[in-house]
């Protein structure tokens, strides 16, 4: 009885093997899956690794990392910067993208910008203010300083406001991203109005200018903390202006600049007793950046609401010559995303690009 069961088992295995035969008579086993990093998924022949904002209130957060898999030398990196505080859908974060050649086993530092919900600046470079500037999203290679950034998506500036005798108008923060972030919006030429105090957008070579502050119309300056210009990697902090009339004092705070390659300027703050008015200047947006060594580049402004994101993708290449010879050449592509013609071309690629 035991011998009959064994014989039937062998027959079943043989039938399964015959069924799996290809037209050449070779058995093609399923290609063994490669181990992916926790935040990565396989989409057709491309591995996509998504990084989201890692904090809780838009201002905290931490660096994340990506380790380049063995045999992969080309990465496509996309980043989206965070929207500025205030949520006006004007001070949106930017979008930057590029395809970059990396060293073997390169480790990338990833920072995803936060949209602030407090006066503290958005994580990764947003300036402080009420509201604060949005943080940039960036990827760094070869180190973890702001000088090691290869892709940067600028964050938007915080939204300010002007209030006159109880009526309020938003002074929109500048958008983030592009070669130059947007200026905070203090001018309304269609109705002939212009207000002081908005911060300027950062550019590819300099931070945005800070907004001005003043006390007037029966108010005197008690204390002034001037708004700051944007800097390399950070938006400027907003002004804090305290004005007085007799024994009373009034404190106003501008909006923060957005983080970026160079950040946007912080907004100023002003008040007038005669006009029953105060002005909280909007912050400038931060500039985007893509490494000059990247190909297939994008650097565009004003596309992201909320906190930012980063996406790193690469072609799903074969892990070994064994995998190539046992059907893997049908499933994988080379590091340029091109399909293999046959098992031999797959083996040749592995011999050239992978360690023994």
pLDDT-derived band at 328 (thresholds 50, 70, 90) equals: confident
Q: What is residue 32's predicted lDDT score, i.e. its pLDDT? A: 39
Q: Tens digit of pLDDT for each residue in 29-64? A: 333 345 688 899 877 678 899 999 999 999 999 999
Q: Is the peptide bond before 350 cis (omega within 30 degrees of 0)?
A: no
Residue range 136-166, pLDDT digits in tens: 999 999 999 999 999 999 999 999 999 988 8
Query: Model confidence at 9, in pLDDT bands (50, 70, 90)?
Result: very low
For 71, 316, 328, 348, the CA distances from 345, given in Å and listed in that order, are 16, 16, 11, 5
For 94-111, write each residue's pLDDT tens digit: 999 999 999 988 999 999
What's residue 324's pLDDT? 85
Question: Which positions ≥6 away from 159 have C-beta within 8 Å?
Answer: 84, 85, 86, 87, 88, 90, 91, 131, 170, 171, 172, 173, 255, 282
pLDDT, residue 333, reads 74
pLDDT digits (tens, 9 = 90+) for 66-102: 999 877 889 999 999 999 999 766 799 999 999 999 9
Q: What is the pLDDT of residue 299?
A: 98
The helix (run of H) or strand (run of E) holding residue 345 is: helix 343-353
Confidence at 5, pLDDT banded by 50, 70, 90: very low
pTM of the model: 0.82
CA distances from 288 to 85, 111, 206, 231, 233 (A): 18, 14, 12, 13, 10
Residue with tokens 């994340």: 64
User: What is the per-residue pLDDT across 217-264, written as a single tens digit (0 to 9) for each?
Assistant: 999 999 999 999 999 999 999 999 999 999 999 999 999 999 999 999
Per-residue pLDDT for 354 more than 80? no
- Residue-wise pLDDT for 183-226, tens only, equals 999 987 776 777 889 999 999 999 999 999 999 999 999 999 99
b/e map of 159-191 (b: 16 or more CB within 10 Å)? bbbbbeeeeeeebbbbbbbbbbbbbbbbeeeee
Rounding to the nearest 10 degrees, give the CA dihedral for residues 312, 317, 323, 329. Answer: 130
Q: Which helix (H) or strand (E) holds 350?
A: helix 343-353
């Amino acid at each position: 009885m035991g011998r009959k069961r064994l014989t039937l088992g062998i027959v079943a295995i043989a039938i399964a093997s015959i069924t799996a035969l290809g037209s050449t008579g070779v058995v093609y086993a399923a290609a063994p899956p490669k181990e992916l990093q926790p935040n990565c998924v396989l989409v057709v022949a491309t591995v996509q690794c998504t990084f989201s904002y890692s904090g809780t209130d838009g201002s905290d957060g931490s660096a994340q990392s990506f380790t380049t898999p063995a045999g992969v030398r080309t990465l496509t990196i996309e980043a989206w910067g965070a929207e500025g505080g205030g949520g006006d859908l004007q001070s949106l974060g930017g979008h930057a993208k590029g395809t970059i050649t990396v060293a073997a086993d390169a480790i990338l530092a990833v920072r995803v910008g936060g949209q602030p919900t407090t006066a503290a600046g958005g994580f990764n470079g947003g300036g402080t203010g009420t509201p604060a500037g949005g943080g940039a999203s960036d990827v760094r290679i070869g180190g973890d300083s702001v000088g090691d950034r290869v892709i940067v998506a600028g964050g938007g500036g915080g939204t300010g406001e002007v209030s006159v005798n109880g009526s309020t108008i938003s002074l929109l923060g500048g958008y983030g991203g592009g070669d130059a972030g947007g200026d905070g919006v203090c001018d309304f030429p269609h109705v002939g109005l212009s207000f002081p105090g908005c911060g300027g957008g950062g550019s590819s070579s300099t931070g945005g200018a800070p907004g001005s502050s003043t006390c007037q119309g029966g108010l005197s300056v008690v204390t002034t903390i001037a708004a700051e210009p944007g800097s390399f990697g950070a938006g400027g902090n907003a002004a804090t202006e305290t004005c007085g009339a007799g024994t009373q004092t009034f404190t106003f705070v501008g909006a923060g600049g957005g983080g970026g390659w160079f950040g946007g300027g912080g907004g100023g703050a002003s008040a007038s007793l005669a006009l029953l008015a105060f002005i909280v200047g909007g912050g400038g947006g931060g500039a985007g950046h893509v490494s000059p060594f990247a190909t297939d580049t994008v650097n565009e402004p004003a596309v992201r609401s909320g906190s930012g994101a980063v996406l790193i993708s690469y072609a799903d290449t074969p892990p070994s010559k064994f995998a190539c010879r046992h059907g893997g050449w049908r499933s994988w592509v080379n590091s340029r995303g091109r399909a293999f013609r046959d098992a031999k071309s797959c083996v040749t690629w592995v011999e050239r690009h992978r360690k023994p």
